[in-house]
Amino acid sequence: MTILTIKTTPYGDQKPGTSGLRKRVTVYQQPNYVENYIQAIFDSLEGFEGQTLVIGGDGRFYNDVAIQKAIRIAAANGFGKVLVGQGGLLSTPAASHVIRHYKAFGGLVLSASHNPGGPEGDFGIKYNISNGGPAPEKITDAVYARTKVIDSYKSIDAGDIDLNTIGTQTVGGMVVEVIDPVADYAALMETLFDFPAIKAMFASGFRMTFDAMSAVTGPYAHKILEEILGAPKGTVINGTPSPSFNDGHPDPNLVYCKDMHDLLMTPEGPDFGAASDGDGDRNLIIGKNRFVTPSDSLALLAANAHLAPGYKAGIAGIARSMPTSAAADRVAEKLGIEMHETPTGWKFFGNLLDAGRVTICGEESAGTGSSHVREKDGLWAVLLWLNIIAVRKQSVDQIVREHWATYGRNYYTRHDYEEVDAAIANKLVDDLRAELPKLAGRNLGDDLQVAYADDFTYHDPVDGSTSAKQGIRIGFTDGSRIVVRLSGTGTVGATLRLYLERYEAADGRHDLETQSALDSLIGVADELTGIKQRTGRQEPSVIT
């Protein structure tokens, strides 16, 4: 094996966000862009000589090219083995499981999650550590620092490997094993859920539709839902992964899954609808005549997890990202378990999960998961919902209504302003941050009194680390809340996110339309932030 040391020059824009480095494909196609970033990752790690590295992605455009580069760089840097999904495919939760199951040193997940694909779309690379979760900030900060000064990378003089054939090959002195991307994950799901009960439910005529959005979850859903659980063929739609996601937008929300939503609101529609995103870590849950918000879904799954065999002993605790509604907090309080509020980004859940302090985690951005892996897991959430429905023998709508009657309802929405001029977005946040000390005790709108106003700082209870400036929170004495933050998942301009929440007690009204229920709060938020005036946008890009 001839190891090549290739001279390069740094790029100044390789700062990882909340989920790795996401850029346009055209940016990644620049000379040595992929090589610089992967070498910077390896340069920031220690002790991987002879160890196993997992590589896989969501099948988007440029996935195959980047994987071949990554394999050669891994071989040149001294890894002993690479496990790669057949066809280069591994859903993000499956990659997490493979890392954990085979005790790998870590893994490269090649994905831009729910962002569009294709030659003009987005691409991303994320490093996951040995627990299967995204690298913590101390590693991503080190990677970024290295990218700014990198002057060479290592590779070997070798051709591409065959990614389509399961089995073992060699690249230089390194073993490359192409594995079935679905098998290990499917086996894990079978240990968590009551597959016989779900299978019997399908056999009795229960109907569902699952939209894989022409993304990576298709093969997983075909195998588990249709082959193992016996759902009728055709239950899974858009089940063949496409490099461009069939020219669609692989984000499972009510904008891009409107047809499914509309179908579930009709008498002819199936009993249950679900979808997952580009890399398989997000989920959409819709029952007959009932859309379940991600925040409510987290609370409902936590409250009912004991109905699934993998969680029959109960759960240790719940964690949610700060912008996620407080619906799960009420479940934790009733169950007498720990409740943790963290910054956005799944990496913040890893320490809590590893320490056994929480079992179920979730984010309002349609991500829920548990201690079975260290990533959010779209299909896991769907299967837990199916398990709950099979045991309770109730519709989604009945289950949701009973939950609200017990815990109350958190009316909740998120307004996204996408591709806003970054300078405008940053100044808006900076100006609002400067106003925070003046807000406490003020009355806003008709009858809202500010109870607190701060910029969320997280103190990790496990490792003692601190993460500051994680989002602006303005809370009111009646339990209502406004949150403003900039998203770290976009690739062009800035995505400004506004979160609004109002609590209605268990004996209150739970049948209001969400945006109407939050109308006064929406007006207060615009008055405080000036979003419409500053951005020139009269409406959000997406409302969820």
Tens of pLDDT, residues 127-138: 999 999 999 889
Whole-angstrom distance, CA of residue 356 vs CA of residue 369: 14
Question: Quick one: pLDDT at residue 490?
Answer: 55
- So what's the architecture of 3-181 in CATH? 3-Layer(aba) Sandwich (3.40)
Nearest Cα residue to 342 out of 353, 330, 334: 353
- So what's the architecture of 185-407 in CATH? 3-Layer(aba) Sandwich (3.40)
User: 50-59, 180-189, 419-428: which has the minimum mean pLDDT?
Assistant: 419-428
Question: Quick one: pLDDT at residue 264?
Answer: 98
Tokens of 530: 């000036």
Mean pLDDT of 212-225: 98
Mean pLDDT of the chain: 95
Domain-by-domain residue ranges, the chain?
3-181, 185-407, 409-543
Whole-angstrom distance, CA of residue 222 vs CA of residue 253: 21
Question: Quick one: pLDDT at residue 446?
Answer: 78
Question: Which stretches within 31-152 are classed as H helix?
Answer: 33-43, 63-77, 92-101, 137-147
Q: Contact at 8 Å (CB) between 295 and 327?
A: yes
Mean pLDDT of 285-296: 96
- Does 111 participate in catalysis according to the annotation? no
Let me know if domain 409-543 sits in CATH 3.30.310.50.
Answer: yes
Helix 294-304 and helix 378-392, axial crossing angle in degrees, nearest 10: 50
Catalytic residue (choose from 19, 44, 111, 113) = 113
CA-based torsion, 523, 524, 526, 530: positive or negative: positive
Kindly tell me if the per-residue pLDDT of 102 is higher than 60.
yes
Secondary structure in 3-state letters for 332-365: HHHHCCEEEEECCCHHHHHHHHHCCCCCEEEECC
Mean pLDDT of 50-57: 98
Q: How many helices and strands in the chain, by DSSP H and E? A: 18, 27
Whole-angstrom distance, CA of residue 48 vs CA of residue 156: 18
Q: What is the share, in percent, of the chain residues with pLDDT greater than 70? A: 99
- pLDDT tens readout for residues 486-508: 886 556 678 899 999 999 999 99
Kindly tell me if the per-residue pLDDT of 1 is higher than 90.
no
Question: Quick one: pLDDT at residue 82?
Answer: 98
Q: Which helix (H) or strand (E) holds 429?
A: helix 422-435
Question: Quick one: pLDDT at residue 455?
Answer: 95
SS3 state at 226:
helix
3-181 and 409-543 share one CATH topology?
A: no
Question: Quick one: pLDDT at residue 345?
Answer: 85
Bridging pattern class, strands 122-128 and 106-110? antiparallel
Question: Quick one: pLDDT at residue 331?
Answer: 98
Q: Contact at 8 Å (CB) between 26 and 51?
A: no
Q: Contact at 8 Å (CB) between 260 and 272?
A: no
Mean pLDDT of 272-291: 97
Q: Contact at 8 Å (CB) between 186 and 220?
A: yes
- pLDDT tens readout for residues 329-342: 999 999 999 999 99
SS3 state at 327:
helix
The residue type at 537? R
Whole-angstrom distance, CA of residue 124 vs CA of residue 19: 9
